[in-house]
Amino acid sequence: MTDVVLASGDKFVAPGVADFFLPPIFGSVTKPMVLLVLSILIIGAFFIAATRNLKLVPGKFQFAAESLYDFSRNGIAREQIGAKDFKPFIPLVLTIFTFILVNNLFGLIPIVQFPTMSHIGFPLAVSLLVVYPVYHFVGFKRHGFVGYLKHQTIPPGAPWFVLPLLIPIEFFQKFILNPLTLAIRVFAAMFAGHLLLLVFTLAGEFLLLNGGLTVIVAPVSFAFAIALTFLEALIMCLQAYIFALLSASYIGMALAEEH
């Protein structure tokens, strides 16, 4: 994939946006699409296999699945939504977390090496078409139409004279910005991270193959690429966590009795 970009020649061509839009594998099916489908197969199979025969005292495999579930359930959902309401949202939070996580991690897996979430369409689908409707729906259901609008746009304790300023800001944030930032956050992190890895890897390769004396610097470039890989691993997990955490947080805020 990367070889395609590295045009043989003396001139180093920096990786760019084009590296994220590779030609389709067949028809109009592109690599991220295949990866996306692969991800849900992996996650689904993993959890179904892990929960097929649950034991009170978990084995290693069950323990791994249980840790993921427990993290989403108690670490994210219960923390953000509250012990009273969090139960129905556990599957959603778990799905978001694992879905984003696996698709991010594709960026590190050899051969695959492409974070699906660096295509904004995928995170946007989750944030704009799943999280956004869900939290507003439960909010309207809990507080009523006007009640929910008030609940979301008027922070309690705000003095009356700032309200004309505050209400539009809050509205803009809650109803327009939140789902966008949610998607853009993970998209940008994955896009930038992948681009960084590309730059250092391709630069190392270029220095190694095309330079005269520059060969000496090539290992430095590769070392950076490896170091960045570890950083990326951290960021990938972190972004998945943040996405799930914020989704749960929006739901929690929509459901909260008072701020």
Residues that bind other proteins (CB under 8 A): 16-18, 20-21, 28, 32-33, 36-37, 39-40, 43-44, 47-48, 51, 54, 56, 66, 69, 73, 87, 90-92, 94-95, 98-99, 118-126, 129-130, 187, 191
Toward other proteins, which CB reaches closer, 8 or 28?
28
Toward other proteins, which CB reaches closer, 37 or 165?
37
Toward other proteins, which CB reaches closer, 149 or 235?
235
Position of tokens 């590309």?
198
Q: How far is the CB of 176 from other proteins (least distance, A)?
A: 16
Toward other proteins, which CB reaches closer, 93 or 255?
93
Q: How far is the CB of 114 from other proteins (least distance, A)?
A: 13
Toward other proteins, which CB reaches closer, 74 or 173?
74
| Residues 96, 89: Cα–Cα separation, whole Å | 11
Q: What's at 168, amino acid-wise?
A: P
| 149 torsion bin: left (phi>0), alpha (psi -120 to 50), beta (else) | alpha
Q: How far is the CB of 165 from other proteins (least distance, A)?
A: 29
Toward other proteins, which CB reaches closer, 121 or 147?
121
| Residues 114, 109: Cα–Cα separation, whole Å | 8
Q: How far is the CB of 153 from other proteins (least distance, A)?
A: 28
Q: How far is the CB of 147 from other proteins (least distance, A)?
A: 28
Q: How far is the CB of 3 from other proteins (least distance, A)?
A: 16
Longest dimension (CA), the chain: 71
